[in-house]
Chains A and B, each alone.
Chain A
Amino acid sequence: MKFYFIIATVLNFASFSVWADNAKSTLPLQFQQAMQNKNWDFANVCIDSMLQEAPYQDQLWYNKGVVYYQQHLLAESIACFQKAILLNPFNKDAKDNLLVAQSRLVDRLPNYFDFILLRWWKLLSSPYFHTYWAFTALGLWVLIGLSMYLPKALQTKKQFRIVKNSMLFLSICFFIMAYFSWSSLKNTTVFVVQSDQAMQYATPMSKLGTKVPYGTIVSVLERTPNWYKVALPNGVETWMQQQTLTKF
């Protein structure tokens, strides 16, 4: 048993070296050339091709946002920067550019739900931290396993048992966090309003309500074939027609 445990530990640390680079593509170079030549359409095509390979690469979404910004497509640009931030909350360039792009909108809805605990939770459960949580949980398990080979006299002490049980509890917590951050990858879809839309409801007899400005990022709560129930940044929930939103 001791032998197998050592093998597992060695495999664990050896596996870090498995992150080998894929074969290098010419697309990044083509993208750079397109950006230098201000050929925004082709740059967008290059980025889209790369995003098919790596849809969770925040830098690609950031660059796509820059391309849209250069094309004066503010709503699309905002959505791409937002997506880059969701994938990597520490992407400062994306944060800066998002502010610049949003500052150019005529109207914006205030964000009422940006309090600190929610921000922390969003940050800690973002996909960016997933691997940290996953390997911390694994490392704690390995430590607990190794501790079983300490002298019997030490193992019987109460303090040792408290430390061991705490480590076990923490490792389970980290594992749960890893799961949350991993599953939040699926929630990085960004919907952005494509034109100044009045709030509407999913019935033909609906009345027009407050205007939702162009470029507003909304989160989709519910879907019907033609209508989406969305949450606006100010916390208001409403129905909007599918064609008024663009998905990234």
Chain B
Amino acid sequence: MARSFLLWLFIVFSSWSAFAQQLVFSTQVGGEKMGIKDQLQVDYVLQNAQQIESLSPPNYTDFNIVGGPYQSSQSNIQMMGNRMVESKTITISYVLQPKHSGTCTVLGAIAKDAANHTYVSNAVSVQVVNGSLAQQRSSSRDPFGDDDQDPWAMMRQQMQQMQQLFSGRGRQQAPPSNQSAEEIKAPADLNKDVFIKVSVDKSSAYVGEQITTSYKLYTRLPMQMSISKLPSLNGFWTQDFELPKEMKPTEEIINGKKYQVFLLKKSALFPQQVGKLQLDPAEAKGLVRVVQKTKRANPFADDPFFSQFGSLFMGDPFFDNDLFSGMAYKDIPVTIASAPVSINVKEVPNTKKPISYTGAVGKFQFDVQLDKLSCSTDDALKLKLLIRGSGNLKLIEAPVFDLPKGLEKYDPVVIDSITGRTTAIEGFKEFEYALLPTAPGDYEIAPITFSYFNPATQQYESIVSQPIHLHVVLGKQLPTNKKVKLSQFHNYNRSINAQNPFYAFDHVWYWMIMLLVGLFLLIQLTKHKWQKMWSAWIDKRNNRSNRVALKRMKKAQVFLDQKQIELFYEEVSKAIWLYLSDKLTIDLASLSKEAALEKLAARQLEQKIIDNVTAVINDCEMALYAPSIAEHKMQQTYQDTIAIITHIENSKK
């Protein structure tokens, strides 16, 4: 019993640091000494982190990152002795490998929270030696602490020293107790020692009726557990009760066994639908420490002294007590879950249901208040309907009531608030209507009825307010004190379609029409200018054609003097055709004798000139095939060509 108490104390003190509720940001490394070939796990641990937005790792100068970042977060509800502490921990882990031997520094990381506060974790120095220390460290370690500080390890060591002292043969060292010990007791059936139980105050309820449910953890063993899954509670509107942050466990005796009981969650459930609803199981994961007795060999069995007097001592119960049998502990990972619970939900009775019933279930008080009993038509009034009590407050709809003509009512502002969460969900719901008197006179706001279903009496109960008398005088008919003339709030528009209005600039065809019309206008407005430019260009071309033709004719005269028939006619032919093309504005591609004669005729030139043109063209063509025949016509052709050009130039003027 004394050892169990010591073990319990040890667990409590080893995890004492988890009690802190302020944000703690620390760097934790796998060890202070490592080999250069080993890998080091670094954990940046944020305890009680609520609103951390970012975490930046440092630039490691002494290490290479070989893994990570790995993120894990955990909400812990830890049972430490007789206290329960809830904390949230975020861990960012990296796996590092040292770049060199010697003293290497694991730098601290930087975290920022929503308020832009910066937190820096501590830096840790690690001694790096050559080789690998991983194998040396691979021996199993107590997950709860260091062996050097383990009271049980110290006790084992003392027992080994005693064995060596009293042993006759025994200079050889006894093997570690955990390995040599024979298990004398198997681990207990953990499901009976640690479990979660859901308790509900009623298994059958009306829609909207409060059901109080508690999730409790029962344990008879030291443990370190965290809630891994909370029930989703579908089909219910839930409101959690407030639990103290540090809660002392209670004790319960079940089947003659004493359990420590931790209350994990206590909620008020308000079913929203009829039928059989099920509460999901809650789950918790963690380690349970199981104490085991180990039997050791009798240290005095081989001693000659005890062999002589052995029969005398060995029968003594002293040698059978715990001093000569070891105590070992084992941490067993466990996952426990509560059993699902079914609740039968019934519809509220339809018989005697009041017309004013709007879904309230519970026990309520009802009050109606008007902020002014006398006002002018310029004033606005506030009518408050206050429902106070315990029940499904959030699900209650506004009581229906009518106002006398002359008073306009706007949609209410709804405020609901939960004020009590200790034994029952209590609070209030307020419907605040803005009223506008439109005409002077005396008004009576008729009593307003609020009905609710009371599950305790299983009957509907109604509360009727007192009538309110209001005296309204004529205002100054000026704009109201809010400088706006209020109109009636209009309801939604039924004739809607998902089609944008027509915006002309969004359509290509609008731009095309604008372009066409714009071009047309531009051309029309600048038409005279264009025409002038065109005639100037034609004149320029004509002048150029005259000059070019005369130049060619000069060349032809040279060939005429030299009697070079073919070259002469070739030059005359070019001169006449190019001249006609430019002068008559005929493309070279479509230039033909017929086209040229037609254009000349259109210019109303003398027939003689036209005939001359035909003759010159024919002579030039003939000279290409029969130069000897055309030889005597060279002078005539030359003169005719000059005459044609001169005549056409004169006729233009």
Contacts and interface: CB of A to CB of B under 8 A. Distances in A.
Interface of A: 1, 4-5, 8, 11-12, 15, 18-19, 21-22, 24-25, 27-28, 31-32, 35, 49-51, 53-60, 62-63, 66-67, 69-70, 72, 87-88, 93, 96-97, 99-100, 102-104, 108, 127-128, 130-131, 134-135, 137-138, 141-142, 144-145, 148, 178-179, 182, 185, 204
B490 interface: yes
B410 A104 contact: yes
Given A100-B486, A102-B484, A141-B514, A60 B504 contact: no
A96 B497 contact: no
A63 B504 CA distance: 25
A103 B484 contact: yes
Contacts of A51: 498
Contacts of B413: 72, 104
Contacts of A35: 492
A58 B493 CA distance: 11
B496 A60 contact: yes
Nearest to B495: A59
A134 B505 contact: yes
Interface in B476-495: 482, 484-495
A40 B584 CA distance: 83
B253 interface: no
Given A25-B498, A31-B492, A69-B489, 5 more contacts: A15-B509, A53-B498, A59-B496, A67-B492, A70-B411
A49 to B, nearest CB: 8
B510 interface: yes
Contacts of A24: 497
A57 B505 contact: no
B517 A69 contact: no
B499 interface: yes
A56 B504 contact: no
A72 B498 CA distance: 25
Interface stretch (B226-234, B314-322, B361-369, B520-528): B520-528
A99 B484 contact: yes
A5 B518 CA distance: 10
B513 A8 contact: yes
Nearest to B505: A182
A29 to B, nearest CB: 10
Nearest to A108: B482
Given A130-B503, A134-B504, A145-B524, A100 B489 contact: yes
B421 to A, nearest CB: 24
A50 B499 CA distance: 8
A31 B496 contact: yes
A55 B493 contact: no
Contacts of B486: 99-100, 103
Contacts, number: 146
B236 to A, nearest CB: 19
A97 B490 contact: yes
Nearest to B494: A32
B487 to A, nearest CB: 4
Interface string B205-240: 000000000000000000000000000000000000
Nearest to A29: B494
Contacts of B484: 99, 102-103
Contacts of A18: 509
Nearest to B516: A8
B446 interface: no
B500 interface: yes
14 contacts: A1-B520, A1-B524, A28-B498, A56-B500, A57-B501, A58-B501, A62-B492, A63-B493, A100-B487, A134-B510, A141-B521, A145-B521, A178-B504, A182-B505
A60 B498 contact: yes
B491 A66 contact: yes
A54 B491 contact: no
Contacts of A59: 493, 495-496
B499 A22 contact: yes
Contacts of B323: none
Ordered nearest first, which 7 A-B pairs have the shortest CB separation?
A134-B504, A96-B487, A50-B498, A53-B498, A93-B490, A8-B516, A66-B492
A79 B645 CA distance: 85
Contacts of A57: 496-501
A128 B484 CA distance: 25
B414 interface: yes
Contact of B502 (A131, A137, A204): A131
Interface in B445-502: 482, 484-502
B513 A63 contact: no
B434 interface: yes
Interface in B499-549: 499-506, 509-510, 513-514, 516-518, 520-521, 523-524
Contacts of B490: 66, 93, 96-97
Nearest to B513: A12
Contacts of A1: 520, 523-524
